Amino acid sequence: MAKERIGFIGVGLMGHGMAANIVDKGWPLTVMGHRNREPVEDLKRRGAAEASTPRELAEASDIVVMCVTGSPQVEAVVNGPDGLASAGKPLLIVDCSTSEPSVTTRLAAELEPKGIVLIDAPLGRTPKDAWEGTLDVMAGGAPEHVERARPVLEAFAGRILPTGPTGTGHTMKLLNNFLSMGYAALYSEALTMGAKAGLTPAVFDSVIRGGRMDCGFYQTFFKWVLERDPNAHRFTLRNGLKDMTYMASFANAAGAANPLGAAVRNSFAMAVGAGRGDEYVPRLSDIVAELNGTSLAVGQDAEKAPGKP
pLDDT in tens, 49-101: 999 999 999 999 999 999 998 999 999 999 999 999 999 999 999 999 999 99
| Predicted local confidence at residue 1, as pLDDT | 67
Question: Does the annotation mark 114 as catalytic?
Answer: no
Pure H helices in the chain: 15-24, 37-45, 54-59, 71-79, 101-111, 127-132, 143-153, 168-196, 201-208, 216-227, 237-254, 259-273, 284-291
Give the CA distances from residue 98 to residues 1, 103, 128, 303, in Å, rounded to whole numbers and listed in that order: 33, 11, 18, 37
Architecture, CATH, for domain 171-304: Orthogonal Bundle (1.10)
Among candidate residues 268, 183, 270, 283, the one with its CA nearest the CA of residue 233: 283
Residue type, 115: G
Q: pLDDT tier at 176 (50, 70, 90 boundaries)?
A: very high
Delimit the CATH 3.40.50.720 region(s) of the chain: 6-165
Indicate the pTM of the whole model: 0.88
Could you read off the pLDDT of 276-300 as tens digits, one per residue? 999 999 999 999 999 999 999 754 4
- Give 36 or 147, the one with higher predicted confidence: 147
Share of the chain above pLDDT 70, in %: 96
Look at residue 132 and give its three-state secondary structure. helix
For residue 207, the number of C-alpha atoms closer than 13 Å in the C-beta half-sphere is 8
| Predicted local confidence at residue 303, as pLDDT | 38
| Predicted local confidence at residue 232, as pLDDT | 87
| Predicted local confidence at residue 51, as pLDDT | 96
| Predicted local confidence at residue 35, as pLDDT | 79
| Predicted local confidence at residue 34, as pLDDT | 75
Name the catalytic one among 173, 223, 242, 308.
173
Look at residue 258 and give its three-state secondary structure. coil
Query: CA 1 to CA 11: how far, in whole Å?
Result: 28
- Give 83 or 303, the one with higher predicted confidence: 83
| CATH tag, 6-165 | 3.40.50.720
Could you read off the pLDDT of 110-161 as tens digits, one per residue? 999 999 999 999 999 989 999 999 999 999 999 999 999 999 999 999 999 9
Region 1-11: mean pLDDT is: 92
Delimit the CATH 1.10.1040.10 region(s) of the chain: 171-304
Q: How would you classify residue 47: left for phi > 0, otherwise alpha for psi between -120 and 50, otherwise beta?
A: left
